């Protein structure tokens, strides 16, 4: 069997708010609550299990999602419509811009718990 990432836990101030935020942006569905988790599954079978934890214990993380050009258009419109600040770079030195790394498009934005989310249309180095 080849090794595949199956799921990961994302610490959040409010698991439902964070799960619904990301699912809305990416056009995914929020799954039913399972114990302390609110799941959001991606098309490649990885489940993001959002868990509520005290805000002071959240170590911000980075999550990048490879999406199609059409999905990028939709997600980017949702980011702008929601008034979510976005950046072309992870250091947040280029606000209000997208990047064109590796011939695709990419943008960074922050989720309600402070995690850096990224959507890209081409994998890096690709």
Domains in the chain (CATH in brackets) are: 7-51+61-120 (3.10.180.10)
Neighbours of 93 (CB within 10 A): 9
* Residue-level pLDDT, tens digit, the chain, 126 residues: 799 999 999 999 999 999 999 999 999 999 999 999 999 999 999 999 999 999 999 999 999 999 999 999 999 999 999 999 999 999 999 999 999 999 999 999 999 999 999 999 999 986
pLDDT at 1: 73
Cβ–Cβ < 8 Å for 60, 115 = yes
Looking up tokens 């911000």, which residue turns up?
Answer: 60
C-alpha to C-alpha distance for 65 and 105, rounded to whole angstroms: 12
The dihedral through the CA atoms of 62, 32, 26, 121 has a sign that is positive
pLDDT at 126: 67
Q: Which helix (H) or strand (E) holds 84?
A: none
């Amino acid at each position: 069997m080849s090794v595949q990432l199956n799921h990961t836990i994302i610490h959040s101030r409010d698991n439902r708010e964070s799960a619904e935020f990301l699912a809305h942006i990416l056009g995914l569905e929020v799954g039913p609550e399972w114990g302390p988790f609110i799941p959001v599954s991606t098309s490649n079978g990885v489940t993001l299990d959002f868990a509520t934890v005290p805000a002071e214990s959240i170590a911000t993380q980075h999550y990048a999602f490879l999406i199609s050009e059409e999905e990028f258009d939709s997600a980017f419109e949702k980011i702008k419509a929601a008034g979510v600040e976005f950046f072309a770079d992870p250091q947040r030195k280029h606000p209000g811009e997208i990047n064109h790394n590796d011939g695709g498009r990419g943008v960074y934005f922050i989720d309600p718990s402070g995690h850096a989310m990224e959507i890209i249309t081409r994998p890096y180095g690709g």
